[in-house]
Structure 1
Amino acid sequence: MPYNCLHNDEALLSAMAADDQQAFTCLYRRYWKELFLTAAKALRDNDAAADIVQDVFLSLWNRRTELQLEGSLAAYLHTSVRYKAIHFIEKNIVRRDYAALLTVLASDYLPASAEERLQLKEAQFIIHETVAKMPPKMQEVYRLSREEHLSHKEISDKMGISAETTKKHIQHALKLIKLALGQTAGSVSLLLISLLLKK
């Protein structure tokens, strides 16, 4: 390990602010793994987790001359990863099945606060009501996909419809759920992150 990497975070940040790329590399190596593990645990997606950590470090480098930390660098980096993970889930809450995952996790990791429990119940109610209002065939396709985890081909074979029809039903069902969640998507994302990181 190069000598510079033995310096504390403050010294490395100071060197980085003066455009020392080696100092940045030291910080990157020091924190990349733990940040990646945090993001991967929250997102259940290694590629997305790696992208998020890369974005956090890119932002750190781009802001190197103006960065004013009130706490530790470790806390700053972990908070940045957490916020980016929440934003990622908010954008992909339905497409990547995070909404369904929330229901599964909640049964094992009941949120501690009354507010979180209320948010969870609200999200579950919205999803349940939206699915219940879907046309029968779309509802069946959605349940087979999300609850029984069947592939598009398995659903097509079981229901006697084409794979393309199956895909369209699922896409439309997901759009309806995302639309119904609307303003609650952010709080659902935050709640999901907190449940996932408890595991």
Structure 2
Amino acid sequence: MIMGDTTFSDTYILDRIRQGDQKSFDRLYQHYWEILYRSAYSRIKSHDLAEDIVQEVFMDIWKRRSTLKIKGSIKVYLLTAVKYHIFKLVQEMHLHEELDLAKLSLSRLQENTVELDDIYQLIEHSLEKLPSSHAAIFQMHRMEGMSIPEVSDALQMAPQTIYNALSRITKQLKNELKGYYTLFL
């Protein structure tokens, strides 16, 4: 029988539980359940989670009963086990939150990729409407990253002609792409 938190009763009850005595385990459970529950609840403020944590602590005790070594007070050991389970739960919850955020970010990235594909198609469609020399100027300067002098040399056109063409192309694409223009051009 558990008679408080004395070393004698702790030692006695542990010996009985190690031998597989279900009644001694039930007494341990009855004696400490409420204390452990209050400790868990005070930290996590959830009745269901507090009950689950206490249940896990006692299940762990029973599973490891034959090899369980507790030095000192059972009460201190059990309260420490509750604290450990809470830390573990919080860590798992934090991990799940991080995974949920990562999934949300991935989902948004996929949505943005679809939008980028749509915008890219709009740009290509708009470029098809341009004279071929203008499309080439835009392609070289905006999509391939060539400078105005490089485009001028490649197409053998005056730099001012390239500037003027880019200005007309930009106005036309701005009208066709509406709100998307500032994001990509």
TM-score, normalization by structure 2: 0.48
Greater Rg, structure 1 or structure 2? 2
Q: Which has the higher contact order (CA 8 A, sep 6+)?
A: 1
